[in-house]
Chains A and B, each alone.
Chain A
Amino acid sequence: MELVTPGIGLIFWQTVVFLLVLFLLGKFAWKPIMNALQERESSIENALSAAEKAKLEMQALKADNEKLLAEARLERDKILKEATDAANSIVETAKQKANEEGARMIEQARESIENEKRAAITEVKNMAASLSLQIAEQILRKELSDKNAQQALAQEYIREVTLN
């Protein structure tokens, strides 16, 4: 019976001390502790979600980059193709032009050669004519100085004419 009879003194002290401790700890220990725990938990949560967001952003960025890269590659191919085409066409035109020019030049050359040739032939003909005249003059002058010779020559001519 002694054990299960609460004493007034201990009830009093227990009530006073416990309520005091409850107040003190509640105000100066539990409150900051609970707040700090909450704060830390929320900061960890925020950090995790921020990391997740950053990861997603990175992925989006990477996808964007890849898209850009692909676009750039496409653009480059297009430019290269255009450039090749342009170069080809230039070369083609140049070639054609060169051919035409060459043909024209050859034609011109041929023409001028022909002219030259004709001129040369004419000159040669003239030269030959004058030379023949001179020679004939010279020969005639020499031959006609000698009677015999003139005779012989005439003879020869006659012979030749007869033979023909």
Chain B
Amino acid sequence: MKRLFVLLFSFLTLTAFAEAASEDGKFEPGAMITHHIADDYTWHFADGVVAYLPVILVDNGEFQVFSSSNFYNEAHELVPYNGYALDHGHIVKVDASGEPLADQAGLYDFSITKNVASLFVSVALMLVIFFVIAGRYKNNAKVAPRGIQSFFEPIIIFIRDEIAKANIGPKYERYMPYLLTVFFFIWFNNLLGLMPGGANLTGNIAVTLVLAGLTLLITLFSGNKNYWKHIVATPGVPAWLAPIMIPVELIGILTKPFSLMVRLFANITAGHIIILSLFSLIFIFESLSVAPLSVAFSIFMMFLELFVALLQAYIFTLLSAMYFGGAVEEHDHADEHH
């Protein structure tokens, strides 16, 4: 009976439940949650509806491309293939008996995983939506916006006026493409991650690492004389403090994008973990009577997550704009600021 409910719930809402039961049939919430928020080589849309994604490996300079379905037999059990096998969600080199090799050097995994596939879907969605909108603007620029255009226009204007202009100043225009792209990328993927079967893309540290890294690079490359002067010789600070100040400022350069990376990753992942944990309560207590409470809390959390999805996109964009603003600011009155 319990097993049946597990299957039912996994079919309707979260697709990872079915695999979360251990050998002896005991439900393991930790494993289920970890499995859900981590990356995968297959895409579970619903129980029985599985897309096997392509595996792309670079093994000592040699490309290996094959379907991830090769790692599963008919009974959906893991099997080695061609000297590789899935081990705790990672591809490892194995010997003939299926045991992982001690030497894994030279193996790089560029597979189209669930997150990469989700990334493709989300950017395709973005391209379609914004090309359609751009077309509307190109064809009749002076007509009042309508439909999808009137939904996105206030958001674009908000990013331009309240985020870019307010924090960067007169040079805001050249940062608009990055700010708009990063805002909509994070927001779209946050929302897609909340969909049943959706991937936890923005809750993946690799994604937030790249986004924060781009913000860092743009900040460094747009840093003007004043920006660097503040780092190597902070005005108003005695020269003998330089050995302390310069390392502190250099660390400061890195902590800003680091906080961006961790904030987005942690917020989105935490939201997923909370919702999954609330569902897991039903199976932990092994009682249906917990279900109404659990579902109620989950619905509440879902609404909160919808808000967080927008909020985190806003915060990431806002902070990026502030860092850019700090890099291009003209310090005519530097002492008033610090």
Expressed in whole angstroms, the minimum distance between the Cβ of B300 and any Cβ of chain A is: 25
Cβ-defined contact, B205 with A5, below 8 A: yes
Q: Mark A24-56, 1 if CB is under 8 A from B, else 0.
A: 111011111111110110010000000000000
A41 CB to nearest chain B CB (Å): 9
Contacts of A12 in B (CB 8 A): 110
Q: How far is the CB of A114 from chain B (nearest CB, A)?
A: 105
How far is B177's CA from A31's CA once the two chains are assembled, in angstroms? 8
- Check B204–A10 contact: CB distance below 8 A: yes
The DSSP consensus for interface residues of chain A is: helix
**Range for the number of chain A residues in contact with chain B:** 35 or more
B153 touches A28 (CB 8 A): no
B5 at the interface (CB under 8 A from A): no
What per-residue 1/0 map shows which CB atoms of B207-243 lie under 8 Å from chain A? 1011100100000000000000000000000000000
The 0/1 profile, CB within 8 Å of A marked 1, for residues 100-141 of chain B is 000000001111110110011001001100110110011001
Does chain B have a CB within 8 A of A161? no
Q: In whole angstroms, how far apart are the Cα atoms of A106 and B180 in the complex?
A: 114
Q: Once bound together, how far apart are the Cα atoms of A12 and B109, in whole Å?
A: 10
CA distance A17 to B207 in the complex (A): 11
User: A90: CB under 8 A from chain B?
Assistant: no
The docked-state distance in angstroms from the alpha carbon of A130 to that of B37 is: 170
Which of A15, A20, A22 is the one whose CB lies under 8 Å from B178?
A22
Partner of A22, one of B177, B207, B269: B177
The answer, yes or no, to whether B83 is at the interface (CB within 8 Å) is no
A163 at the interface (CB under 8 A from B): no
Which residues on A are within 8 Å of B, measured CB to CB?
A: 2-15, 17-18, 20-22, 24-26, 28-37, 39-40, 43
